[in-house]
Structure 1
Amino acid sequence: MLTSPNLSLLLILLFVAIFISVISGVIFLNKRISLAYVRIHIYLVALPPLIAFIGLILAPKNINIGLWYSDILSWLMAFFVLIIGLIIQRYCVRYLAGDRSYRKYFTLFTLTTSFASIAWLTGDLRIMVVSWGFTLVGLTLLISLTSAWRVTRAAAIVTGKLFFLSWLALLLAVIWLGIVTGEWHYTGIFTDANLDQINAWTRFGINMLIILAVMIPAAQWPFQRWLIESVAAPTPVSAIMHAGIVNAGGIMLTRFSPLFNGDIATIVLLCFASASVLIGAGISLVHVDYKRLLVGSTIGQMGFMLIQCALGAYIPAIIHLILHGLFKATLFLRSGSAVRHFNVPSRANERMSYLWILAGRGLAIMIGLGFWLSAPEQGYRLVSGLILAWSLSVSWTQLVAFGEGKFGRIMGLLVLGVVGIVYYIVHHFFNDALHTIAFHSAQPPMFVVVIVALILLFGSLMSTWVARHRSSVAFSIIYMWIVHLGDAKIETVERHPNYLKKYLSKGGH
């Protein structure tokens, strides 16, 4: 374990490494610098996550170092964002080769991830707001880099407007909080004495601003439009959005958790997040475009994450956002090779699979019920058990019930077993480490938890009913409504990037 002076030195080394990587990106903008320099740039970009990893393992936790705050969450998020940025930049070396904005992508990726890591390492809310603002600006510029293409220009305008609204809400919340408490540091603001100074209406107003600031980057209904429009951006830009930006809401809510302790604003968050889960799941089911399918999945997953935060389950929310970020970044970076194959089983095979489906649902109900009853006093366990049962039921159906013969079902069982063991190990590792975070977790009223569970069950039952009544009017209405929700506006849709015709006519220059 490092001492406080050594921690200060480690922070200095981290910021020096970040500064060097940013300067390297700026140098790469010079057209006189060979494109081969990009490999040197990648090595320099690898320095900050390496130092952040050392801090994650060795740095003392829950202490202030001037404007910075050292705890497991700050180092974990700094390392996560920086390593995701490194992986994506390494992927772009060949993927974006030949792009007119090739050099700018690396500079903006470096700047965006650097500011995002600083936002989570600082303990001063003013620095956090400024750093997060630059992160959103960097992401908007990444979307708009292909400026000759009308589609990306329109998507960047939509994204920029919503991001500005989100950042403005966060700025107002922080200023309001600073005026009321007279403090700007997390540890200074969230003391019992300062929290007692905040009356109920002031707390509700600040919390609503924070919820607005969180919901927009998380693409929650009714602010999901920017994420849907941004599918025209290059795949690496989508990867950085889905892996390191949209899931920032869980970190913000964890940092501001003392304010949400028993406040009615959590019910507002639960309502919007629950609606987003259903809408996101619907979009991912009805759309056939691969990137749009992933967008729907992200909207739903971020809804689950915000439900976890609203129910006081901040540690599961953080684990969720990290695993989701890694999973979704992998899916986007592999999207070029994604080809979906649909095998329609015969009627005989369907009858044979029916008993397996019933067995899987029975097993899922037993496991979900057991998970809840292991700690029924924790309200979140009910929703968590429901999600666990639903996930297991779907996985069992796809991997086991519809497996090709005995061998296919045995392999499906093995895959489920391995995934379960890996998740158990990873979950418990993060759970033990994150328990050192200083946050406030209040159990919501049980009727709120029951309402959330009923909403999710209603959505599941509706989807099942609609799937079995595809010739009904209700199916047509719901289907077209969800398709409309997941469709981008006409300004951000184009069959082919027509601006490329001009470049091709000039020999590609």
Structure 2
Amino acid sequence: MLVNVNALLPAVTVTPGLFALVAALLAGRRYRWLGYSGAFVAGTGFPIACVLAVFAGVGMGIDRVAAVLLLLVFGVSTVVQAFAIRYLAGDPRAGRFTAGASLLTSASAGMVTATTLPGLAVGWTLAGVALCLLLGMYWHLPAARDGVRRTAIAFLIGDLALWGVVVIVTARWGVSDLRALADEALSGPLVPVVGCLAVVAALSRSAQVPFHKWLPATLAAPTPVSALLHAGVVNAGGILLLRLAPLASGDTARALTIVAGATTLVYGAVIMLVKPDVKGALVNSTMAQMGFMILTCGLGLWAATIFHLVAHGFYKATLFLSSGSGVARRRRAAFHPRPPAMTARRRLLNGALATVLPGAALYAATMVIPMSAGGQHAEQALLIFAWVTGAAATWGWLRHLRGPADLVMVLAVLPPVAITYLGLTSAATHYLAPALPTAMPSALSWPVLAAVVTILAAVAAVRWSPGTSLHRAIYARALSAGYITSPLLAPSRGARS
């Protein structure tokens, strides 16, 4: 039985790549048939990934982390390609999308299941190439060309850094097996260099500071491409740091990871709050979420990284595929009168309730589901994230309260949601623990998280206090910082104003 299950792994990884070749040859015709076939190939991989997840770690060539990541790869690819059948109906480029999406699926599946450094790097590079091909679907648009240019430059830097890791580790220590890295006692002046190169590669793929400008420049891509990008490709940075944890756990590499993740988290959250367009807000939301993911990598909270990565992937795919509905809702809301502005007293009360109620619900949930005493500390880190997210959601809910009955509803909903969330994080942590690197929590873990939460709370307080000079100054600077300029988008000299 195990032999048969093991045979599924190479098949499920290679098949989408072979279909990508077929789709590329037939891209100019029968693109609707290709769309259905591409969604079917990806959809077939999802139940196989479920089987692999059940048997992972039982004498198989795949661990539990890789199996869970396969669920993300094939789940997102299936939904997005099925959505694209109608979204790109009548578009002659639909066949190109199917070919690129299938190649991206195969490359991503190979990357997350690779057991050697060269295999990981090959999957990494192929995924980047596939994404650039997808971003160039509407090459006639200057914005699309600018997005491809920025993405290719960032990816080239990251790929060179990763291949540098492969060459140095293979030549200097003779190690190519990822599973053997944890058992090797690597030493010498090249160790911090290799760790920093791995971090640079991860930062470039996950759109972290200073490589953050390429992600907002990709908005000219069609919605299915954006969904694949934001739900899958940008997660690769966290996956890479997880796979190369033995190399990127030095003090210098971890410091670089923590600083970049925390900075991007705050930067992306601030820009997201001032963006007037739906996709622009979603792009910067992704940047902030990836900042949190990279931060958890730097802090050694690997279970939190994987849980957040998978949850954000499915959630962001849903948001991008429904972005058209979001635009329609905003248009309808523009024709309805806005509710009267809250008084300062009501705003202060709502802020206090939005802060206290989710925290109290999470604390009560820990009484029902005690947190594990293991070394991963993932649940504690995710509790902070859940508290901030719950505070933002509760604030939005409280703004529309009409009476005591609505407040009672809020009080009734928060505890079961908190218990469910904590139960899922606890179960995921226990399932993933055998396949995760040895946790090495930093002494800076809680101070860094506390500082980030404090800064975000301060930003939220300023946003919820409109009309002040500080609010106007921060709003103007954030809006300017989030604006992408490019010579490709500038009007020509002879163009009329």
When normalised by structure 2's length, the TM-score is 0.87
Indicate the SS of the match to 1:468.
coil
Query: Do the aligned partners of residues 350 and 459 (structure 1) sit closer, same or farther apart at CA in structure 2, a change above 3 Å counting?
Result: closer
Corresponding residue for residue 279 of structure 1? 267
Q: How far apart are residue 218 of structure 1 and its match? A: 1.0
Q: How far apart are residue 415 of structure 1 and its match? A: 4.6
Query: Do the aligned partners of residues 104 and 188 (structure 1) sit closer, same or farther apart at CA in structure 2, a change above 3 Å counting?
Result: same
Q: Distance in 1 between matches of 2:80 and 2:385?
A: 31
Q: Does 2:166 match 1:174?
A: yes
Corresponding residue for residue 11 of structure 2? 13
Corresponding residue for residue 482 of structure 1? 478
Q: Does 2:83 match 1:91?
A: yes
Query: Do the aligned partners of residues 479 and 70 (structure 1) sit closer, same or farther apart at CA in structure 2, a change above 3 Å counting?
Result: same
Q: Contact conserved, 1:115 with 1:134, CA < 8 A, in 2?
A: yes
Q: Distance in 1 between matches of 2:37 and 2:376?
A: 51
Corresponding residue for residue 430 of structure 1? 428
Superposed CA RMSD in Å reads 3.0
Q: Distance in 2 between matches of 1:429 and 1:494?
A: 52
Q: Distance in 2 between matches of 1:245 and 1:427?
A: 23
Q: Does 2:465 match 1:468?
A: yes
* Structure 2, unpaired ranges of 5+: 492-497
Query: Do the aligned partners of residues 410 and 365 (structure 1) sit closer, same or farther apart at CA in structure 2, a change above 3 Å counting?
Result: closer
Q: Does 2:289 match 1:295?
A: no
Q: Does 2:437 match 1:439?
A: yes
Moved more, 282-291 or 347-356: 347-356
Q: How far apart are residue 389 of structure 1 and its match? A: 3.0
Q: Distance in 1 between matches of 2:445 and 2:71?
A: 35
Q: Distance in 1 between matches of 2:426 and 2:110?
A: 27
Q: Distance in 2 between matches of 1:53 and 1:483?
A: 43
Q: Contact conserved, 1:151 with 1:494, CA < 8 A, in 2?
A: no
Indicate the SS of the match to 1:49.
helix
Q: Which of the residues 305, 309, 321 maps onto 2:309?
A: 321
Paired residues in the alignment total 481
Q: Does 2:229 match 1:232?
A: no
Identity %: 25
Moved more, 452-461 or 145-154: 452-461
Q: Which of the residues 335, 352, 360 maps onto 1:358?
A: 352
Q: Deviations over 1:436-486 (max 9, x none)?
A: 2141211212x45314422431342244246537442x4444322211222
Q: Does 2:250 match 1:253?
A: no
Q: Deviations over 1:119-141 (max 9, x none)?
A: 11120110110111011011011
Q: How far apart are residue 229 of structure 1 and its match? A: 0.4
Q: Distance in 2 between matches of 1:401 and 1:208?
A: 45
Q: Does 2:49 match 1:52?
A: yes
Q: Which of the residues 147, 150, 154 maps onto 1:158?
A: 150
Q: Contact conserved, 1:112 with 1:134, CA < 8 A, in 2?
A: yes
Q: How far apart are residue 368 of structure 1 and its match? A: 6.6
Moved more, 346-355 or 228-237: 346-355
Q: Distance in 1 between matches of 2:375 and 2:427?
A: 23
Q: Which of the residues 88, 95, 100 maps onto 1:108?
A: 100
Q: Deviations over 1:247-289 (max 9, x none)?
A: 1122111112223445232122111111111111111100111
Q: Distance in 2 between matches of 1:316 and 1:155?
A: 31
Which one-letter code corresponds to 2:213 in the other structure? R
Query: Do the aligned partners of residues 484 and 61 (structure 1) sit closer, same or farther apart at CA in structure 2, a change above 3 Å counting?
Result: farther
Query: Do the aligned partners of residues 100 and 34 (structure 1) sit closer, same or farther apart at CA in structure 2, a change above 3 Å counting?
Result: closer
Superposed, which structure 2 residues align to 1:353-502 within 5 Å?
A: 354-366=348-360, 384-400=382-398, 402-445=400-443, 447=444, 449-465=446-462, 467-468=464-465, 470-472=467-469, 474-491=470-487
Q: Distance in 2 between matches of 1:77 and 1:376?
A: 23
Which one-letter code corresponds to 1:8 in the other structure? N
Which one-letter code corresponds to 1:92 in the other structure? A
Q: Distance in 1 between matches of 2:347 and 2:341?
A: 10
Q: Distance in 2 between matches of 1:24 and 1:128?
A: 24
Superposed, which structure 2 residues align to 1:181-192 within 5 Å?
A: 181-191=173-183
Q: Which of the residues 256, 259, 264 maps onto 1:268?
A: 256
Indicate the SS of the match to 2:215.
helix
* Structure 1, unpaired ranges of 5+: 64-68, 496-509
Corresponding residue for residue 198 of structure 1? 187
When normalised by structure 1's length, the TM-score is 0.85
Q: Distance in 2 between matches of 1:320 and 1:62?
A: 27
| Structure 1 moving runs of 4+ over 6 Å | 368-382
Q: Contact conserved, 1:218 with 1:246, CA < 8 A, in 2?
A: yes
Corresponding residue for residue 501 of structure 1? none
Q: Deviations over 1:127-167 (max 9, x none)?
A: 11011101101101111111111220121111111111111
